[in-house]
C-alpha cells in the first residue's frame, strides 16, 4: 500500500494541475509546526517566482481546491504562502484500517527490485574472548540485516572470523611448551588425529593472553610463534589439526555468546577461507599490471586526484611474501563475488578502519575483483565510551569482556524487577531480566547514530523511563496487560473497526502509526537503525499520552471501546515488529 505521504502528495499535485501550476511545486512534507498543522506544502513560495504572482494568491487557490476534498479536515493558506494541511479523521482511520488488515507488513511495501546484500559484521577473533568492541558490530549489523530483510532484500550475514593471524601461532607455541607430548607436535606422525580437542574453552582463553604477554617480553618466543604461524599457513598437518580444534571450540563458544545477544549469522566464514584464493588473485593483479614491487613489497596504487588526504598504496604481499589483513579482505571479496555475486557488500566495522577500507575498496574496483555496479559500503561505527568519556573499561582499567558486561547488566536488571514486584517467581524474574537487559544494551547502542561515539551509561540505559529499551518494553507490556483485562471482561479482541479519532491524543497516535512504512523505508535507505529507534520512541510516547487521557477499559460504548482496542493492538504489533528489527523482544510482564 502507498505511504500516506504519497496519497497526500497525489491530491496536492492534482490541485496544482487543476489550478494551472506545474506539479513539481506540489511537494508535501511533515509539518515542522505540529501545533499548527500535520503536513505542509511550501510550493506556492517557489511557484510565485516562476508565475510572477504573489505566493499567497497561489496558496489561496490551492488551499481552496484542497478544502473540498475528503482527505482533509483543513487546508489553510497562511501568509506569505504556506499551505497547512490537517488530515480528515475518517480518512486517517480508513488508512489505519487497511494497515491493520496486513498482518505481516502493516502496509509497508517491500522493495520492487530486491537486492542481494552481504553484510560483514561481528568480526570476532578466534581464541580471543569477545570484548565490547565487538558488541557494536554485532548489534548494528544484526539490525541492518533485519531491516533489509523486512524491506524485501536478500541479506546474507557473514561473521568474518579473525582466524588467520599470529594468535594461532601463539597458541600453538604455548601449547607445545605445556604439552609437548601431544601427537600434533610430532612431525613424523602420519596417523589420524584425535577427535577430542586437547583443551577446553576456558583453557584456550587463558592460553592466548599468556602467550601474547610472553611474546612481548621474549624475542625467541615471538619468533617461535611466527615460525609456527608460518608452518601452519604452509600446511603443516599437525598444526592444521590443532587449528581445526581451536576453531571448533572457539566457534561453539562464540555461537553461545551471540545467541545470548539474539544475533545470528548465515555464514561462519573466516579469514582462513579466503587463503585459497590469494595466489590466483595476486597472479592476476601482477599480470594485468596493477601490482608492482615497491620497497620489496607488492602494492597497488589507489590514490585519486580528488584526494584531500594521502591514501597510501594498498599492500598486497609483504616483502617476505606473507599475506596481510588487506590480502585476506581482497580475497574474501573474490569468493563472495564467485559464490554469491552480491549487489552490495556492507562492512560494519570500527570507523578507525575507514582508511584501510578505502584502500581495499579502491583496489578491488581498480583490479576488477567486483563488477562495475557492485557497491562496497563501509559502515563505520564510533567508540563506546564510559561515563568519563574515555573508552569503556572495567573498574580496574582492563578490557571489559562482553560476557562479564552482559551478566552485570542482567544482575542489575534482576534486582530492579524483583523490586518492582511484578514478577514474583524467581526463575521467571531471571528470564525477564535477561530480556529487558538485552533491550537496554541494544537500544542504548542503536538509538545513537552509528558513526558517532557514545557513552555507555548503564544506569540510564536500564531505566524504565526516557528514551530507553526498557521504556519501550514497558509500553508493550502495558498494552499486553490491557488486552488481557479486556479479554477477562469477556470481550473479543478480534479486529474491530478502527474509528475516527475523538481526541487530540488519539489522532496523534494515529498519525504516528500511519508513518510506519515511510520510517522503515527511510531507515533502510540510510542504513540507519537509529531511525527505527526514533520512530519507536515517538510511537510509544504517542500511545502513552493517549492512554493517560483515555479510559479504555471503563469505556461504556462497546463499539468505541472495541475501536480503541483495535488501535492499541495495531500499535502493539507495530512496536513489536520494530523491536524485532532492532534485535530484541518483549516479555509478558516486567
Ligand atoms: N576481526 C577484525 C577485528 O577484530 C574485524 C573484521 C572486520 N571485517 C573485515 N572484513 N575486515 O578488528
Pocket lining: 529 vs ligand 1, CB cutoff 6 Å: no
* Residue environment code for 109-125, b if the CB has 16+ CB neighbours within 10 A, otherwise e: eeeeeeeebbbbbbbbb
Radius of gyration for the alpha carbons in the chain, expressed in angstroms and rounded: 29
* Position in ligand 1 atom list of the atom nearest CA 161: 1
Pocket lining: 271 vs ligand 1, CB cutoff 6 Å: no
Residue in 349, 356, 376 to alter for ligand 1 test, most ligand atoms within 8 A of Cβ: 349
DSSP codes of every residue in 126-152: TTS--BHHHHHHHHHHHHHHHHHHHTT
| Coil vs helix vs strand at 393 | coil
| Ligand 1 centroid to residue 301 C-alpha, Å | 23
Pocket lining: 347 vs ligand 1, CB cutoff 6 Å: yes
Are the beta carbons of 12 and 84 closer than 8 angstroms?
Answer: no
- 242, containing H or E segment: helix 237-260
Residue in 138, 162, 332 to alter for ligand 1 test, most ligand atoms within 8 A of Cβ: 162
Return d(Cα 509, Cα 539) in angstroms, integer.
7
Pocket lining: 123 vs ligand 1, CB cutoff 6 Å: yes
Ligand 1: which residue has its CA nearest to atom 10?
A: 329
Pocket lining: 125 vs ligand 1, CB cutoff 6 Å: yes
Q: What sign does the dihedral 183-187-189-195 (CA atoms) show? A: positive
DSSP summary character for residue 380: E
Return d(Cα 239, Cα 198) in angstroms, integer.
13
Per-residue pLDDT of the chain (590 residues; tens, 9 = 90+): 999 999 999 999 999 999 999 999 999 999 988 889 999 999 999 999 999 999 999 999 999 999 989 999 999 999 999 999 999 999 999 999 999 999 999 999 999 999 999 999 999 998 877 887 789 999 999 999 999 999 999 999 999 999 988 889 999 999 999 999 999 999 999 999 999 999 998 899 899 989 999 999 999 999 999 999 989 988 899 999 999 999 999 999 999 999 999 999 999 999 999 999 999 999 999 999 999 999 999 999 999 999 999 999 999 999 988 889 999 999 999 999 999 999 999 999 999 999 999 999 999 999 999 999 999 999 999 998 888 888 877 777 667 788 888 999 999 999 999 998 889 899 999 999 999 999 999 999 999 999 999 998 889 999 999 999 999 999 999 999 999 999 998 877 677 999 999 999 999 999 999 999 999 999 999 999 999 999 999 999 999 999 999 999 999 999 999 999 999 999 999 999 999 999 999 999 99
Residue in 119, 159, 160 to alter for ligand 1 test, most ligand atoms within 8 A of Cβ: 160
Cell for 454? 557514545
DSSP codes of every residue in 293-348: EETTEEEE----TT-SS--PPEEEE-TTS-B-HHHHHHHHHHHHHHHH--SEEEEE
Identify whether 563 is preceded by a cis peptide bond (ω within 30 of 0).
no
| Coil vs helix vs strand at 178 | helix
| Coil vs helix vs strand at 20 | coil
- 185, containing H or E segment: none
Residue 266's nearest CA partner among 122, 454, 423 is: 122
* Position in ligand 1 atom list of the atom nearest CA 357: 11
Ligand 1: which residue has its CA nearest to atom 7?
A: 123
Are the beta carbons of 250 and 201 closer than 8 angstroms?
Answer: yes
Residues facing residue 40 across a β-bridge: 29, 84
Pocket lining: 120 vs ligand 1, CB cutoff 6 Å: yes
| Coil vs helix vs strand at 287 | helix
Amino acid at each position: 500500500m502507498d505511504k500516506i505521504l504519497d496519497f497526500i502528495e497525489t491530491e496536492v499535485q492534482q490541485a496544482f494541475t487543476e489550478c494551472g501550476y506545474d506539479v513539481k511545486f506540489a511537494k508535501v512534507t511533515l509539518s515542522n509546526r505540529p501545533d499548527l498543522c500535520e503536513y505542509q506544502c511550501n510550493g506556492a513560495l517557489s511557484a510565485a517566482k516562476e508565475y510572477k504572482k504573489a505566493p499567497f494568491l497561489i496558496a489561496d487557490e490551492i488551499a481552496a481546491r484542497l478544502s473540498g476534498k475528503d482527505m482533509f479536515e483543513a487546508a489553510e493558506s497562511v501568509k506569505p504562502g504556506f499551505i497547512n494541511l490537517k488530515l480528515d479523521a475518517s480518512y486517517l482511520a480508513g488508512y489505519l484500517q487497511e494497515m491493520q488488515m496486513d498482518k505481516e507488513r502493516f502496509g509497508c511495501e517491500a522493495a520492487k527490485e530486491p537486492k542481494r546484500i552481504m553484510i560483514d559484521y561481528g568480526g570476532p577473533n578466534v581464541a580471543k574472548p569477545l570484548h565490547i568492541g565487538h558488541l557494536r558490530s554485532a548489534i548494528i549489523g544484526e539490525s541492518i540485516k533485519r531491516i533489509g530483510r523486512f524491506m524485501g532484500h536478500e541479506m546474507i550475514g557473514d561473521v568474518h572470523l579473525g582466524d588467520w593471524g599470529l594468535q594461532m601461532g601463539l597458541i600453538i607455541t604455548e601449547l607445545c611448551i605445556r604439552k609437548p607430548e601431544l601427537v600434533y607436535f610430532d612431525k613424523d606422525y602420519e596417523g589420524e588425529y584425535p577427535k577430542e580437542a586437547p583443551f577446553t574453552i576456558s583453557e584456550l582463553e587463558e592460553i592466548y593472553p599468556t602467550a601474547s604477554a610472553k611474546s612481548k617480553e621474549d624475542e625467541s618466543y615471538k619468533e617461535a610463534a611466527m615460525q609456527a604461524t608460518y608452518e601452519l599457513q604452509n600446511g603443516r598437518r599437525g598444526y592444521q589439526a590443532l587449528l581445526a580444534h581451536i576453531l571448533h571450540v572457539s566457534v561453539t563458544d562464540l555461537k553461545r555468546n551471540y545467541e545470548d545477544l539474539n544475533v545470528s549469522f548465515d555464514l561462519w566464514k573466516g579469514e582462513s577461507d579466503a587463503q585459497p584464493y590469494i595466489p590466483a588473485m595476486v597472479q592476476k593483479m601482477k599480470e594485468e599490471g596493477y601490482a608492482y614491487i615497491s620497497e620489496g613489497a607488492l602494492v597497488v596504487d589507489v590514490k585519486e586526484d580528488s584526494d584531500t588526504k594521502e591514501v597510501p598504496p594498498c599492500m598486497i604481499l609483504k616483502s617476505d611474501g606473507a599475506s596481510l589483513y588487506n590480502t585476506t579482505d581482497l580475497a574474501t571479496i573474490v569468493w563472495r563475488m564467485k559464490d554469491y555475486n552480491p549487489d552490495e557488500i556492507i562492512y560494519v566495522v570500527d570507523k578507525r578502519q575507514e582508511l584501510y577500507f578505502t584502500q581495499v575498496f579502491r583496489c578491488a574496483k581498480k583490479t576488477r575483483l567486483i563488477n562495475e555496479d557492485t557497491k562496497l559500503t563501509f559502515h563505520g561505527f564510533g567508540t563506546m565510551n564510559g561515563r568519563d568519556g574515555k573508552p569503556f573499561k572495567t573498574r580496574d582499567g582492563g578490557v571489559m569482556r562482553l560476557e562479564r558486561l552482559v551478566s552485570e547488566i542482567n544482575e542489575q536488571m534482576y534486582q530492579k524487577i524483583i523490586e518492582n514486584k511484578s514478577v514474583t517467581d524467581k526463575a521467571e524474574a531471571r528470564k525477564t531480566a535477561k530480556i529487558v537487559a538485552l533491550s537496554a544494551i541494544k537500544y542504548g547502542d542503536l538509538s545513537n547514530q552509528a558513526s558517532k561515539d557514545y557513552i555507555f551509561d548503564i544506569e540510564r540505559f536500564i531505566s524504565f523511563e526516557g528514551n530507553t529499551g526498557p521504556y519501550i518494553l514497558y509500553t508493550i507490556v502495558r498494552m499486553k496487560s490491557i488486552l488481557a483485562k479486556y479479554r477477562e471482561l469477556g470481550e473479543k479482541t478480534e479486529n474491530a473497526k478502527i474509528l475516527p479519532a475523538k481526541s487530540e491524543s488519539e489522532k496523534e497516535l494515529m498519525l504516528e502509526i500511519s508513518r510506519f512504512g515511510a520510517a522503515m523505508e527511510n531507515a533502510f535507505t540510510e542504513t540507519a537503525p537509529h531511525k527505527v529507534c526514533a520512530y519507536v520512541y515517538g510511537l510509544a510516547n504517542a500511545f502513552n499520552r493517549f492512554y493517560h487521557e483515555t479510559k479504555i477499559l471503563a469505556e461504556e460504548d462497546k463499539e468505541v471501546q472495541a475501536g480503541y482496542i483495535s488501535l492499541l493492538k495495531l500499535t502493539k504489533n507495530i512496536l513489536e515488529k520494530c523491536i524485532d528489527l532492532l534485535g530484541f523482544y518483549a516479555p509478558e510482564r516486567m
